[in-house]
């Protein structure tokens, strides 16, 4: 199912192979912002491939996922030193420490204008305002490992529970609901709000794409290669979602009806992680080998 006519993939070297491009998001400046998880850096890449790299205050802080904030800056999780980071579009970076060693991973802007994030080590969902005020909400399940998080169409936040094999929902006042997945050991990771009003997520353990409606109706779509290890997912403006296949070196597209389109990446074992739709309409993917891939829409 690879190599659909009409799409091409270009890879751009953005760092040395050890730096580890991981998360990727579009900034308010219409550039691509990338976390370098192993180097403790944030990278800015324009669509015409001009690249700038900004050092953080710790090379071992583990910047992971990144999102555009409500204040014209980019916000990101620092998984290894348990901080929430912020970087302005001119490269000025600051961070806020968490009260506990929570292992923050997923982050998104909520419907209330705050940043909401997951804490994998402590089974908590965190909330931080643009002026640094922190709130934490404990989840009812221990060892659930909350991972990615996104704002839903229902003014709530939706997140994956990787080790509980479930999808979680939290309201702005902290009320939590959990939806167990029907497939054993599904291990969901990435999650995104689709234009169809459903939440779409990847099951890295089961090799499936799933969707859940705000009222809790679940659907699963097995991928052709169940060992492909899908990792991250982003909504497509025209409908459906793009996703990365970390274990199979591919970028995939799922249509609203479950039809799958897949594309092999040019470099073997490139480890695709974060994915976003760029300001140019193309699909951009962070490759941990030190590259960013662009797939034409």
Enter the pTM of the model: 0.96
What's the pLDDT tens digit per position in 94-121? Answer: 999 999 999 999 999 999 999 999 999 9
The per-residue pLDDT for 147 is 98
The per-residue pLDDT for 77 is 98
273 annotated active-site = yes
Residue 176 is given by DSSP the state E
User: Helix (H) and strand (E) counts for the chain?
Assistant: 0, 28
245/232 Cα distance (integer angstroms): 8
Residue ranges for the chain with pLDDT beneath 50 = 1-5
Question: Among 38, 82, 231, 273, which one carries the catalytic annotation?
Answer: 273
Q: What residues form DSSP beta bridges with 104?
A: 119
The per-residue pLDDT for 7 is 86
CB atoms within 10 A of CB 158: 25
The per-residue pLDDT for 6 is 63
């Amino acid at each position: 199912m690879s190599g659909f006519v009409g799409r091409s993939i270009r890879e751009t070297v953005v760092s040395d192979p050890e730096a580890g491009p991981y998360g990727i998001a579009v900034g308010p400046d219409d550039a691509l912002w990338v976390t370098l998880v192993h180097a403790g850096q944030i990278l800015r890449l324009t669509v015409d491939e001009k690249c700038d790299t900004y050092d953080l205050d710790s090379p071992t802080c583990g910047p992971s996922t990144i999102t555009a904030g409500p204040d014209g800056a980019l916000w990101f999780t620092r998984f290894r030193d348990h901080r929430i980071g912020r970087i302005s579009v001119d490269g000025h970076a600051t961070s806020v420490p968490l009260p506990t060693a929570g292992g923050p991973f997923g982050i998104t802007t909520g419907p209330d204008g705050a940043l909401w994030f997951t804490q994998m080590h402590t089974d908590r969902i965190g909330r931080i305002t643009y002026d640094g005020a922190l709130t934490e909400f404990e989840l009812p399940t221990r060892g659930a490992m909350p991972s990615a998080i996104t704002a839903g169409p229902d003014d709530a936040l939706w997140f994956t529970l990787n080790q509980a094999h479930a999808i979680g929902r939290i309201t702005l006042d902290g009320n939590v609901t959990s939806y167990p997945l029907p497939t054993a050991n599904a291990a969901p990771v990435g999650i995104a709000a689709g234009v169809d009003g459903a939440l779409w997520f990847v099951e890295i353990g089961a090799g499936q794409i799933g969707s859940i409606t705000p009222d809790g109706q679940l659907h699963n779509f097995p991928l052709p290669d169940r060992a492909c290890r899908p990792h991250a997912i982003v909504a497509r403006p025209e409908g459906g979602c793009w996703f990365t296949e970390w274990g199979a070196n591919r970028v995939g597209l799922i249509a609203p009806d479950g039809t799958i389109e897949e594309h092999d990446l040019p470099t073997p074992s490139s480890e695709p992680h974060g994915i976003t739709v760029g300001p140019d309409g193309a699909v951009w993917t962070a490759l941990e080998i030190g590259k960013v891939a662009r797939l034409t829409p």
